[in-house]
Amino acid sequence: LQVLETCVNNCGERFHNEIAKFRFLNELIKVLSPKYYGTWSSEKVKSRVTEVIFSWTVWFPQEVKIRDAYQMLKKQGIVKEDPKLPEDKILPPPSPRPQNSIFDTDEEKSKLLARLLKSSHSEDLQAANRLIKSMIKEEQEKSAKVSRRVNTISEVSENVKHMDELLENYKRQELSKSDQETLQTLFQRCEKLRPLLFRLASETVDDDEALGK
């Protein structure tokens, strides 16, 4: 529970979304419920679990599932009253605002653009126009990179899947000449794609999900 709270206090939106799922909340509820581990759990542990869930209803009022889970515990009489949260408790950081626009992703450029657009000088407006064009170009290049990464991963996955099927057949029987040629072609293509995957990985070090794929 201590580790869990430390993670909540130091992690961001993705972690907070995970703890707010019923699948995760149910594991905590089981510790309190007499139908599961509530009979064997110590009062100290149950008290801490209650405190943790209640604190999340305070910190994450937008997470309906956490509130529903806590209200259910109260309705069933498992939680008699709201615990008092220690005044020195560390609050988790607020979840970052979603970035909907290319002009939201770079705060410094956004501020500069806003300042240039407010100006009445023609040279400032021209500078704003150039900045907008450069930001759009950056976004297009970024989208092209993402598209290339997705297409490359898709091609590699298809090639490897096809190779696996041919190799599985090879274990059972001799491959036909055409299948052998196909296998060789797939292998050569994968060899060529291998360094590209390394490069794509190095370009996506700040994107956990993309790097994972």
Alpha helices in the chain (DSSP H): 2-10, 13-19, 22-32, 43-59, 64-75, 107-118, 122-172, 177-203, 208-212
Q: What is the pLDDT of residues 128-170, one digit of tens each?
A: 778 777 877 777 787 787 888 888 888 888 889 998 988 888 8
Domains of the chain by start residue, with CATH: 1-89 (1.25.40.90), 122-212 (1.20.58.160)
Q: What is the pLDDT of residues 67-124, one digit of tens each?
A: 888 888 888 888 888 887 665 555 554 444 444 455 555 677 777 877 777 777 778 7
Q: Which residue has the tokens 């297009």?
A: 140
d(CA 153, CA 197): 8
